[in-house]
Chains A and B, each alone.
Chain A
């Protein structure tokens, strides 16, 4: 029972490099989310998806892209890394738009540093 799996756990990028943060869930959840967590700032929504083939922007989408070709996978793409993207990234999924008593299931996070 893996839940939400994020890879990699840690990554250091140079300015201008690109990378994809992987997120996979095995709970057949329709809703998936990407958040970034900065110290003292809580979690900010980057992108979300309500089902395969459907994605939408959150509060802080600039510099990121997502795709949702399957129910299980929701990768986050950084095209031109900038120091402002240094953060901890969390992927989450939910059964019913975060409103059920089961809430979100979060992955363990990816700590990204851009130098």
Chain B
């Protein structure tokens, strides 16, 4: 029940296109859902996060959509740029028990010029 499933494993998008990465979770106790961005040779960095009291959060070209009933959330990258090429991880955590993030398996995004 701690698992967070992420898809696709890899994604190729043309410059200017929309990148969509999906995640699903089982544990309904999760109540915090961040996305992390990782460039090669670097540690992941927080990109954007959402809590289940809202269905969408937008920061610049990055949007999280959250569907509580389906236990799914997704990251949309609008007007994708070559500089967005990185690995993206979804994650989830809860405020009880093990207070640490559970990460998805990651999506390698390549934005072609």
Contact = CB atoms under 8 A, between A and B. Distances in A.
Nearest to B102: A45
A81 interface: no
A40 B105 contact: yes
A53 interface: no
B34 A59 contact: no
B41 interface: yes
A56 B99 CA distance: 10
B62 interface: no
Interface in B8-54: 9, 32, 34, 36, 41-46, 49
Given A42-B105, A98-B100, A106 B44 contact: yes
A11 to B, nearest CB: 16
Contacts, number: 70
A90 B44 CA distance: 9
B89 A42 contact: yes
A103 B32 CA distance: 10
Given A40-B106, A59-B2, A98-B32, A90 B98 contact: no
B32 A109 contact: no
B101 interface: yes
Contacts of A48: 98-100
B106 A109 contact: no
Nearest to B42: A108
Given A41-B105, A103-B34, A109 B100 contact: no
B66 interface: no
A21 interface: no
Ranked 7 nearest A-B pairs via Cβ: A106-B43, A103-B46, A97-B99, A42-B105, A43-B103, A42-B103, A98-B101
Contact of B49 (A42, A58, A103): A103
A35 B45 CA distance: 14
Interface string A77-115: 000000000000010100001110111101111000000
